[in-house]
Amino acid sequence: MKLARFAVGLAAGLALTVSAAWAETTTLRITLQLPLKSHLGENLSLFKQKLEEISKGEIAVEIYDSAQLYKDNEVPQAVGSGSIEMGVASLTRYVGDVPAVDVFYMPFLLNSEELVRKAVAPGSPVRGPLDEAILETGARVVWWQAYGGSVLLSNGGPIKTPADVVGKKVRVFGKTLGEWIKAAGGAPTLVSGSEQYIAYQRGTVDVGMTGVSGVKSRRLWEVMDTITVTNNADIEFIVVVNEQFWQGLSDQKRAWITEAALFAENDVRDRMTKIETEAYDAARENGMTVYELSDAEVAAWMEAAQPVYDQFLADSGDLGAKVLTAARALGN
């Protein structure tokens, strides 16, 4: 009888211990518009692995990829309102609240890896003020994810000069990129990343704009046959967490998340050149032509782009002027 009571008591104690352990577990749900096999998806998986390892299971990470829960343009509202703990969004999705974020889309401003690394370094005079401004939307930037330089996609030949987009519908993924296409004489059409394949397939747009890594992860060679390497903008994604949720975490859990985030951010940034090279190779292997602009062609694009800078300064106020000046100073 005593043995039976001991067994019952032991079982109850174990149950309470397990229940307490589960009660202490914090779950982070992260929404992502790209497939898990994309390099941003792989980066989230790396973050998950690192965080669950260092927290010894006290924090669990659930990744919902391929826009299962929210499309890219819905992420700022979803995270800011607390509908989900974390999300990944293109930086430009915050342009409505923080117009200055589109400094990264100023034509040919940050067109080298050296300049980009300086601009996106935590606390840099470019990134720092933007992170602070985004916090006012109810979402805290946890880390930045490199997505590479912008390219143009087309069928039947490259897009060499502004004359090649005149009168054509061009897929864009941000307001300022739309201004660039408009200045060149094209018709910008905002299409979410998860919907661009079908937009090209159906002919909703004539020309595409994306990061070259997206060509590989989304198999865009099935609907487009040419890449023009413009590198006119630096595409950045950010991983954000609801600020109220963040403040409700213990100091230890915030420290674990920060450590795993920095690990993930450094990894994706360091691998970006290799990722883009592999994407170009995959595109060529699948029949795409890759065209690189000549200096004269770049000059033609830059000449057409001046109105974009004027509009950016008019729209983004003091913060825009501040980060644009800081970005220009990076090359000095």
Q: What is the per-residue pLDDT for 193?
A: 84
pLDDT at 15 over 80: no
Q: What percent of the chain has pLDDT over 70?
A: 93
Q: What is the pLDDT of residue 175?
A: 85
The answer, yes or no, to whether residue 28 has pLDDT greater than 50, is yes
Contact 241, 142 (CB under 8 A): yes
Q: Can you give the residue ranges of every domain in the chain? A: 23-329
pLDDT value for 5: 43
Give the Cβ contact number of residue 113 at 10 Å. Answer: 16
What is the pLDDT at residue 183? 95
pLDDT at 62: 98
167 band by pLDDT with thresholds 50, 70 and 90: very high
Among 18-22, 37-41, 158-162, 294-298, the least confident range: 18-22
pLDDT above 60 for 215: yes
Assess whether pLDDT exceeds 50 at residue 9: no
- Residue carrying the six token digits 């985004």: 134
Dihedral sign computed on CA atoms, order 29, 30, 36, 41: negative
Residue type, position 21, single letter = A
Nearest to residue 275, comparing CAs of 214, 191, 193? 214
Least confident of 64-73, 221-230, 237-246: 64-73
Q: How confident is the model at residue 158 (pLDDT cuts 50, 70, 90)?
A: very high
Which is more confidently placed, 13 or 275?
275
249 against 1, higher pLDDT: 249
Is pLDDT at 69 greater than 50 in this prediction? yes
Q: Which residues on adjacent β-strands are paired with residue 141?
A: 240
Tokens matching residue 23: 């009660």
**Does residue 128 have a pLDDT over 90?**
yes
pLDDT tens for 234-281 read 999 999 999 999 999 999 999 999 999 999 999 999 999 899 999 999
What pLDDT score does 169 carry?
98
The predicted pLDDT at position 18 comes to: 39
Give me the pLDDT at residue 16, please.
37
Nearest to 136 by CA among 263, 319, 313: 319
CATH number of 23-329: 3.40.190.170
Average pLDDT over residues 293-299: 94
CA distance 51 to 148: 25
CB atoms within 10 A of CB 91: 26
What integer pLDDT is reported at residue 24 of this predicted model? 79
Question: DSSP of 242-260, one letter per residue?
Answer: EHHHHHTS-HHHHHHHHHH
